[in-house]
Chains A and B, each alone.
Chain A
Amino acid sequence: MKRQKLIAYFFLAFFFLCISICTSGKVLAASDPVGTATGKAADLGVDAGTLTIGKLADFVGHNTISINFMWLLLTGFLVMFMQAGFALVETGFCRAKSAAETMMMNFIVYAIGMTGYWICGYALQMGGVGGFASLGGGAALSKEITITLFGKPFGLFGGTGFFLAGASYDVAIFAMFLFQMVFMDTAATIPTGAMAERWKFSNFCIFGLFMSMLIYPLYGNWVWGGGWLAKLGENFGLGHGMVDFAGSSVVHCVGGTAALAGAIVLGPRVGKYNKDGTPNAIPGHDIPMAILGTFILAFGWFGFNPGSTLAGVDLRLAVVAVNTMLASAAGALSAMLYMWYTTGKPDPSMSANGMLAGLVAITAPCAFVNSISAFIIGAIAGVLVIWSVYFVERVLKVDDPVGAVSVHGVNGIWGCLALGIFADGKYGAGWNGVEGTVRGLLYGDASQFIAQLIGCLVCFTFVFVSFYAFFKISDLLVGIRVSKETEIEGLDIPEVGALAYPDFQTIVSSEL
């Protein structure tokens, strides 16, 4: 009892001491509880009396660029987290017997892709971009390899920035590397979903390098690195050239098209199609996991799209962020309602695909459209993804367990075309070196739509042919598909040597 009393007295005394300190004027004088007094000229290390306008402007410039750096890096970190979203969506839509292997692909693609992109991917993509205005630097990336066709220069790929070494040892170039690298890795992780449950892990590893070191950087250069698609406006009068704000084509269509090529070369999973060609559903083992992954992706998209302003001081990012979330809601809603109406149940996995489809579709136009257009674009995406899933499964007879081809490929194209239709002329002054703002078909610039169409055609054709050839050749060299026994048993033990759920008995009796 005595001890408890002592403790009680002690706390009472401490409490009164705290109150007396809090109310004493002396302590308050040195603190700034509201925040308005923090940050003065003295913090710049200069005397306000002798400060020149030029020096002051330098400080403002440094601050502006710093805000842009912070924005770019923070949104880049958000996009990095999308890797977790992809891992959960893809694994949730696959079966328990291959869950560890599916996770392992989604996990290690981050490391493989980054390594390849650091070696040469970034250099090929951005090596000729000539600098980043919003980051106040990067001029060392000055070498674009071009050829001349029709009397105009066609930029093909960059030639500086390998290993981020030499003149590329620069803060702006490093910051942009982080941002571009996580975008590239998004594209690289898309095919792991469409090709899941039958793709040889070793083949996948080689794919990761091919994507990050060559194919993604090339198309990325053509649209974002100052290459020939970006110059379609300057050279041929087609709108502002191919415009893709955050990567409907560069990231999603590239990933989705590679996924299609891969899934075709691999063939469907054992048991997916009956002898008469009708498809069987193969339910995913963890829908809650897939829904969680969808939410993580939607969260990461706040980095993907708003971050693509490349500048925290470009306040258009508020419009970008709101358009992004509106399109995601519209996609999820339209997909859910469509499934509810046509099948009787609001299918969770298809609704999740609908949200992702809306996000993919708004990725290119998010900065150029108003909120009503954003909602329409997302709503169309939500139905388009379902039609596409049916088309891929029932007409093309291609087995895509997670709907990656439909979500990323088809809606990536839809997003780029949507920009060419709905861009309202409020934003994008001087984009790709063309005067005026970006306008779509409905706002008086049909040539912008043509540029988008060309961009999409080039994307699909180039990526599909490249990856079809890659997968065919790599099949001859190292093999692309696991044995039938491995596939029926599940890829976990044969391919990566670890079961996802060793404590649970998973009955593997039939081909399903």
Chain B
Amino acid sequence: MDRPDTASTCGIVLEHVHKEFPGGIVAVRDLSLTVEPGELVVLVGPSGSGKTTVLRMVAGLETVTAGQVRIAGRVVTGLSPRHRNVAMVFQNYALYAHMTVRANIGFALRMAGTPKREIHMRVNQAANILGITELLDRKPGQLSGGQRQRVAMGRAIVREPAAFLMDEPLSNLDAKLRVEMRAEITHVHRRIGAPTLYVTHDQTEAMTMGNRVAILRQGRLEQIGTPLELYERPVNVFVAGFIGSPAMNLLPARLDSSGDDWYATVGGCRIPILPPARVALWPFAGHDILLGLRPEDLVSTEDARDSEHGIIQATVARTESLGSELLVYLSLNSDVTSPPLTARLDRRTAVQQGTYTRIGVNLQRLYFFDPTSGAAIR
């Protein structure tokens, strides 16, 4: 197990980590994950997926039931938080309300017995990086949300920790500030270079900030990869539905073949299946499958080319113009029980609510899933 790879000497390594709370609630199941030095890995998943528990186990705030945690090549599984050399940014910032910003940022250094002059210098340096020099003498209660966030970051970076942990640090900020801080955290991370584990439930944050993204569901790692890998090649229905906004359309379909003609039937429409996909789909011929269509892979019929696009007929239930694009919510045929279909069309597309319309489907970009296991067929 102790391969002398770079991560085991410098990064964060979780090996077969398992967490069971008293009462038999399993929060994390057999999780193995590596954060390379200089890498930012985002742990993302719905609430209750165990992502915060993972972070807390790395920090030492939660015990590990089984498995091993290593930071910078050192086994820290049984160590107390203070011996792990880990910095964490909390969701609600967790600032020390009775101390000034300067004392907040310098607290860890003071606890470590760093000389006063050095504390002063390093706090100034951290404040400078984050642009909070003029706030150093204030108390946290006098700061705005964004400023508090910066102080929390300052408290983390001043220590030059072996690993960085962030627990939904942006979720208490408004939308505009969130975008700003997203860029800032990425910038600071590049500058500091410590391996970072970042927890969020917001897939946009995950996609924009992570070098790699790990998707958790019910304590299990569903998939880990670069944001593009997760988007392009989701391993199952859960990942497919979680990554991408608006979410991927997942439609129950029937796969049929007659000679050289392969097609999936969805709500009475036949969608041809191109030869490259057929090998994997072979066992499912004549059976039900789940057909995945990303909203951005649907086009209006004017933009559809016969060779590349199949056609779906549907009724326009609702439209939402976002200015730059048009979201069209469709229902297949008159079948009210069929799941709605979301299409992301060019903003100039002319569609009217309530009308029956034809939508082009990019045949190169179809996703297929096993309806029983949810696993991708490819």
Query: Is B truly associated with A?
Result: no
**A-contacting residues of B (Cβ < 8 Å)?**
none
